[in-house]
Amino acid sequence: MSNPLLPPGLLASRRDVLGGVAAIGAAALVSTAAQAQAGGAAVRPFKAAIPQADIVAMKRRIAATRWADAEPVSDDSQGVRRQALEPLMRYWAGDYDWRKVEARLNALPMFVTEIDGLDIQFIHVRSRHRDALPMILTHGWPGSILEFLKAIDPLTNPTAHGGKAEDAFHLVIPSIPGFGFSAKPKVPGWGSDHIGRAWSQLMLRLGYERYVSQGGDCGSVISQRMALQKVPGLVAIHLNMPAVVPAEIAHILAAGDPAPAGLTAKERGAFDQLAAFYRDNSAYAAMMNTRPQTIGYSLVDSPVGMAAWMYEKISQWTYSGGDPLKVLTRDEILDDFSLYWLTGTGASAARIYWEDHTNNFNARGVIDLPVAVSVFPGEIFRAPKTWADRAYANLFYFHEVSNGGHFAAWEQPQLFAEEVRAAFRSFR
């Protein structure tokens, strides 16, 4: 029976999920029936099944794009360059195959469960290692659960990827409400505080009474809100985009004033990165913070318009010198775009900015739950440890990584897995 809270054509059945479990083998086991009913709420098997007519319509719309004139400048100072976007869009309209990533998703144990009246879709992969540590991984914007696909096996099956059995994790990877296959909130109130409480309910419902949380971008904000609220079961968090900018620095940046005297070299570097970001590249956030519905019409109506909106940030935030195809494949980027387009979530995903309506870089109270931080070199700003020490009273791990950017698990899955293993080793 179809679920009215899910996009048309996205059906779930026990047969579909059990088939996926067989495909991935013993290293990733589906929850038992008892676990699926833990907490007294149903956890239902889920399968992605986009109607072929929707895929055909998407490609037709891409092919029919009315293109803007090419930019009259020789760089990206006016935005995404047509010469970068148009070849990718031609491939999207032509040879790109959504069914490949759909099959990859359906080879994993996927589920949906209702929390506070909203259906939440998630991947749940259990390690074959008995003492694996439960962890919830949260994506960001313009990312999705697809960011984590390459990191699943290194995290659940570490012995096959240079790790030890005691490094293993059980993974829960949910789609944020309004993103991908999760339902779209119909009422306000689904900001990061609420999502953080929902994630705690999800983990407890799955039988995990002690777990850790990891996130970057929106996932970093949600993980930090979980820690600030001290949600049940959470023992520590790991962040790859920490919100550590001190209040006095945030005020100076907001005013556009020069850097204050007395900053260390790393603090000054972070200040300069943030100043450049606010000056040149933050208009997207201002729009989604204040008018997500207005921009949402374009994001839901035009696949190329949506792709340009997102491709700009993927280009800027990957550790790629502005060319994301150096670290991600065309298919990986288009899988993400297609997930947004085919589920019609461009507007609903943007609303999380309006819900939070805050700067995701600024410290929001001191967190005293244990916090681990990995600083990737291509992040929007490289957080200095001095600021992290002020924001996190129990900063137990801080490491500056040699490669990777904002989309750490997507860009560098092995390195990401090694960081998360090292961070949570003391919580086994």
46 vs 44: CA distance, rounded Å: 6
- Residue 345: closest CA among 306, 311, 294: 306
Contact 409/215 with Cβ under 8 angstroms? no
Cα(160)–Cα(352) distance, integer angstroms: 37
DSSP E strand stretches across 240-390: 371-375
Looking at the DSSP bridge assignments, the partners of residue 29 are 126
Which residues does 11 contact at the CB level (< 8 Å), separation at least 6? 2, 47, 49
Question: 124, 170, 194, 406: which one is catalytic?
Answer: 406
Structure tokens at 114: 């209702």
To 10 degrees, what angle do helices 292-301 and 346-356 make? 160
Number of H helices, E strands in the chain: 18, 9
The answer to whether residue 161 is catalytic is: no
How is 127-171 classified by DSSP, letter by letter? -SSTTPEEEEEE--SS--GGGGHHHHHHHH-GGGTT--GGG-EEE
Q: Decide: 172 and 206 in contact? Cβ < 8 Å.
A: yes
DSSP 8-state code for residue 332: H
The answer to whether residue 194 is catalytic is: no
Residue whose C-alpha is closest to residue 10's, from 46, 45, 49: 49
Can you tell me the distance from the alpha carbon of 287 to that of 312, in angstroms, rounded to the nearest whole number?
15
Distance separating alpha carbons of residues 254 and 148, to the nearest angstrom: 33
Q: How many CB atoms lie within 10 A of CB 20?
A: 23
Angstrom distance (rounded) from CA 63 to CA 43:
40
- To the query of whether residue 319 is one of the catalytic residues in this protein, the response is no
| DSSP code of residue 47 | -
Catalytic residue among 208, 211, 353, 392: 353
Annotated catalytic residue, options 217, 335, 336, 356: 217
Q: State the Cα–Cα distance between residues 144 and 141, nearest whole angstrom.
A: 7
Q: What phi, psi does 212 have (nearest 5°)?
A: -120, 165
- Are 121 and 111 in contact, with CB atoms under 8 Å apart? yes
- Closest listed residue to residue 226, CA positions, set 215, 238, 234: 234
Q: Active-site residue numbers?
A: 217, 353, 406
